Amino acid sequence: MIRRMARLSLIFAPVLAVAFSTSVSRALPSRLVVEDEAKLTFTATVFAEPCKIEGGTPVKLTLPLARQSQMQQANSRSPAQAFTLNLFDCPLGMSKVKMAIQGSPHADDAKVFANMLSGDKAAKNVGIRIWSGADPSNEAARWYNGVVRTFDMGTQQRVKVDLNADMFTSKGNATAGDVQTRVTVTMTYE
């Protein structure tokens, strides 16, 4: 989901008494002419066009296969898959994009996204981990539910975010099966 917004609030405080009293004073007796001010507040929203996302949305990523035997120890992981979120044609006048990450955290590790599949074909005790940079153990580089990252657009009105993902088990004993998760990145432009 892409959320783009720029808020514009307009406050008008016109004095209506002068116009009212001049146009109506001849028709009404003087005791009915009332001079008063009315303050009106108008609120409106102006939406900016969002940046375009290379490849469009949704972004689907298939991770490399992992052997069940590789996922038996605590803190085991599958081979990682690199991917990039490329935003381009960002509107002029915008300098930053905030990316807020939302997804279901894994019950064993809140910094891992839960396997959304269930039943006999779903792997157990394993989720999906996402991070930027080379080291997935760097907590500052991890992307998990509730994280917000801010990126500068630069003079080219582009943002390139290099990420990695893997299957991860914090307690081990992963069972064979499929793993799938859904992560939403909400983008707000400044």
pLDDT in tens, 85-127: 899 988 888 889 999 999 999 999 999 999 999 999 999 999 9
Q: Compare 39 and 170 and report the one with higher pLDDT.
A: 170
In this prediction, residue 18 has a pLDDT band, given cuts at 50, 70 and 90, of very low
Residue 17 has pLDDT above 50, yes or no: no
Strands 81-88 and 76-77: unpaired
pLDDT for 16 equals: 28
* Element of type H or E holding 184: strand 183-189
Least confident of 7-16, 17-26, 32-41, 132-141: 7-16
| pLDDT in the model for residue 115 | 93
- The reported pTM is 0.73
> Strand (E) positions, 47-175?
52-53, 76-77, 81-88, 96-103, 127-131, 142-143, 148-152, 159-169
The DSSP secondary-structure symbol of 139 reads G
Region at 133 (left for phi over 0; alpha for psi -120 to 50; beta for the rest): left
What is the set of domains in the chain, with CATH numbers? 6-46 (no CATH), 52-189 (2.60.40.1090)
